[in-house]
């Protein structure tokens, strides 16, 4: 993809960022938030998220400009700053987060269709999984036609999905009731919520999930027509999605009470609009959700394949993952991704896992890649590397990096021990691919420091396995 005509322009990069972030999360946001926090805590949580995620967006923008040789962002920053195993772990966690989010999207999509066609149930009936499988492989072969073609289709679905969401904002803005919004701002009449800080903490993984994809342009930095467009696309996409998410969440809290919202079936946005205008509102949102999820599924199929291809290309993962077809699509990476999605779709037939559990687990898996990216920005500005003669900019970037790093650490705490242990259980098997890559190069598996890190991962995975076996932990 060396010719300019084959490169992705700014509009395509923005569409990748927006299309990746706006999937199913925004359509379930009213219920997901109301089940965990009241208005006051929601406002605080969004303020923390806005600052934290904006600094992460600036981190990706800064690193894209100052380290242009580091293509495919997320994992490359961890590897450059902290070694091969941390780079591999970031790529592995990011990849798992991406395809696991897609499993959740399939469940939500057919759960929505179940509202009109009972045979789909809650998205995990045999018929639903069969249809989801057909859709999965349809997306697979679409992407196989070429990255450029799939990216163009994603631009179309990104525009299409925004229409019902913007209609909701306008209609809900007119129907908004201040007395409903302010009825019990701090949740004092709901002792099961706990303190305001507990409410804020409980809602944080939801906010992470709806912003996964903020790094989408960074992943495609090698295919961007202009390197500077990577950072611009990240910040523009983030600010637009942030405004839409906050409006959808807060306007819903002025339409129905917290208790009513918490009882809605997902996609809860359909229930809110139905409350305002009647049944056609639910139909509109359901159609919007279907378009949104199709676009998000396409975006994440692209991102999953690209991250595995990039890591194989620089020998972080085994060489077989860098094989491309005639359309320059990393075919083995795409096959591995979609086979894993297919396996977990089948597992949902026998598991009690809900959409919310899947998105929480997907969110927890991406926290490590975000943390190491922020840490590398701090390392870079702290050393002064690439900042010769730009002391003021260096201090500014150092402050932004420290805030982003603090936010990433806070997210690990907010996620709780359960998801930290389950993440370790998913991180541990990745060592097999890491070992294959090292063997191909004739290099030792770990450095001394990496041995200690891997020992901690194995310990966490062991605790998670025991917890699942004993029933202390559950999916």
Percent of the chain surpassing pLDDT 90: 29
Mean pLDDT on 211-216: 70
Most confidently predicted of 204-208, 231-235, 310-314, 431-435: 431-435
Q: Looking at per-residue confidence, does 357 or 183 come out higher?
A: 183
Position with higher pLDDT, 434 vs 386: 434
* Residue linked to tokens 């139905």: 274
What is the token pair recorded at 249?
A: 């969440």
Q: Higher confidence at residue 146 or residue 412?
A: 412
pLDDT-based confidence at 1, cuts 50/70/90? very low
| pLDDT of 351 strictly over 80 | no
Give the closest residue to 254 by CA, choosing from 179, 166, 165: 179
Residue 226: pLDDT above 80?
Answer: no
Spatial distance between the Cα atoms of 185 and 191, rounded to a whole number of angstroms = 13
**How far, rounded to the nearest angstrom, does the alpha carbon of residue 270 sit from its chain's CA centroid?**
22
Specify whether the CB–CB gap between 208 and 52 falls below 8 A: no
3-state secondary structure of 232: helix
Q: What is the reported pLDDT for 348?
A: 81
Distance CA 442, CA 298 (A): 37
What is the residue-wise DSSP string for 383-437?
A: HTTT-TT-HHHHHHHHHHHHHHHHHHHHHHHHHHHHHHHHHHHHHGGGHHHHHHH
**CA 422 – CA 418 distance, rounded (Å):** 6
Q: Do 214 and 25 meet the contact criterion of CB atoms below 8 Å apart?
A: no
Task: Output the pLDDT for position 452.
Answer: 93
- Mean predicted confidence (pLDDT) in 379-400: 89
Give the integer Cα–Cα distance in Å for 267 and 257: 17
* 4 pLDDT more than 60: no
Is pLDDT at 5 greater than 50 in this prediction? no
Round the average pLDDT of the chain to a whole number and report it: 84
pLDDT exceeds cutoff 50 at 437? yes
- Quick one: average pLDDT of 383-408? 90
If we measure between CA atoms, which residue out of 60, 61, 53 comes closest to residue 78?
60
The answer to whether 401 and 378 are in contact (CB under 8 A) is: yes
**Per the structure block, which two tokens stand in for 15?**
């569409």
106: helix, strand or coil: helix
- The whole-angstrom separation of Cα 455 and Cα 445 is 13
- 17-26, 265-274, 398-407: least confidently modelled range: 17-26
pLDDT of residue 67: 85
- Kindly state the average pLDDT of the residues 68-87: 82
Element (H, E) at 353: none
Between CA 260 and CA 250 the distance in angstroms is 14
Phi, psi of 409, rounded to the nearest 5 degrees: -65, -40
Over residues 277-314, the pLDDT tens digits come to 998 888 888 887 887 777 777 767 777 887 788 888 88
4-416: CATH architecture: Up-down Bundle (1.20)
Mean pLDDT value of segment 79-85? 89
Instruction: Point out which residues pair with 8 in neighbouring strands.
Output: 224
> What was the pLDDT predicted at 217?
61
Q: Which residue has the higher pLDDT, 59 or 2?
A: 59
Cα R_g (the chain), whole angstroms: 22
pLDDT of residue 35 exceeding 50? yes
> For residue range 104-113, what is the model confidence (pLDDT) as tens digits?
888 888 888 8
Q: Please check the confidence at residue 3 and state whether its pLDDT lies above 50.
A: no
- Determine the Cα–Cα distance for residues 273 and 289; give it in Å rounded to an integer: 13
Least confident of 211-225, 226-240, 362-376: 211-225
Top mean pLDDT of 8-12, 117-121, 301-305 is at 117-121
Distance CA 469, CA 94 (A): 26
pLDDT bracket for residue 2 (50, 70, 90): very low
**What secondary structure does DSSP assign to 120-175, as a single string?**
GTTTTSHHHHHHHHHHHHHHHHHHHT-HHHHHHHHHHHHHHHHHHHHHHHHHHHHH
Question: For 338-354, what is the mean pLDDT?
Answer: 81
Of 41, 26, 403, the C-alpha closest to 240 is: 26
Q: So where are the chain's domains?
A: 4-416
∠ CA 143-144-147, rounded to 5°: 55
* Mean pLDDT calculated for residue range 423-438: 93
Residues 6+ positions from 470 with CB-CB distance below 8 Å: none
Structure tokens at 146: 């070429």
- State the pTM of this model: 0.82
Q: Residues 19, 365: contact at Cβ < 8 Å?
A: no
pLDDT value of position 152: 65
């Amino acid at each position: 993809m060396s010719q300019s005509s084959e490169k992705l322009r700014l509009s395509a990069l923005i569409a990748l960022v927006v299309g990746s972030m706006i999937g199913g999360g925004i359509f379930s946001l009213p219920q997901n938030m109301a089940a965990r926090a009241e208005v006051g805590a929601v406002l605080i949580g969004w303020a923390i998220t806005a600052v934290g995620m904006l600094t992460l967006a600036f981190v990706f923008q800064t690193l894209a400009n100052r380290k242009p040789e580091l293509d495919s962002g997320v994992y490359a920053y961890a590897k450059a700053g902290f070694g091969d195993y941390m780079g591999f772990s970031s790529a592995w966690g990011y990849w798992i987060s991406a395809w696991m989010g897609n499993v959740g999207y399939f469940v939500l999509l057919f759960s929505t269709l179940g509202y009109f066609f009972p045979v789909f149930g809650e998205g995990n009936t045999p018929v639903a999984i069969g249809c989801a499988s057909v859709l999965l492989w349809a997306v697979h072969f679409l992407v196989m036609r070429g990255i450029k073609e799939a990216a163009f289709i994603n631009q179309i679905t990104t525009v299409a999905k925004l229409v019902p969401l913007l209609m909701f904002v306008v209609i809900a803005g007119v129907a908004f009731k201040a007395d409903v919004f302010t009825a019990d701002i701090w949740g004092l009449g709901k002792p099961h919520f706990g303190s305001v800080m507990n409410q804020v903490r409980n809602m944080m993984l939801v906010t992470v999930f709806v912003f996964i994809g903020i790094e989408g342009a960074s992943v495609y930095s090698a295919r961007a027509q202009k390197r500077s467009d990577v950072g611009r696309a990240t910040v523009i996409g983030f600010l637009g999605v942030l405004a839409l998410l906050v409006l959808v969440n807060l306007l819903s809290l002025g339409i129905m009470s917290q208790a009513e919202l918490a009882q809605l079936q997902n996609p809860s946005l359909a229930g809110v609009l139905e409350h305002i205008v009647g049944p056609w509102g639910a139909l509109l949102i359901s159609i919007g959700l279907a378009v949104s999820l199709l676009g998000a599924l396409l975006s994440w199929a692209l991102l999953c394949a690209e991250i595995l291809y990039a890591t194989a290309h620089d020998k972080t993962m085994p060489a077989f993952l860098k094989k491309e077809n005639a359309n320059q699509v990393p075919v083995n990476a795409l096959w591995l991704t979609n086979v894993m999605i297919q396996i977990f779709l089948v597992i949902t037939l026998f598991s009690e896992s809900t959409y919310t559990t899947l998105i929480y687990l997907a969110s927890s898996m991406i926290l490590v890649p975000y943390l190491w990216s922020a840490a590398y920005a701090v390392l870079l500005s702290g050393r002064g590397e690439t900042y010769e003669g730009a002391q003021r900019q260096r201090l500014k970037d150092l402050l932004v990096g420290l805030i982003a790093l603090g936010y990433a650490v806070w997210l690990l705490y907010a996620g709780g021990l359960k998801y930290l242990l389950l993440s370790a259980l998913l991180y541990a098997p990745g060592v097999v691919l890491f070992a294959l890559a090292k063997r191909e190069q004739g290099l030792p598996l770990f450095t001394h420091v990496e041995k200690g890190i891997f020992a901690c991962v194995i310990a966490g995975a062991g605790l998670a396995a025991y917890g699942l076996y004993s029933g202390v932990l559950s999916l």
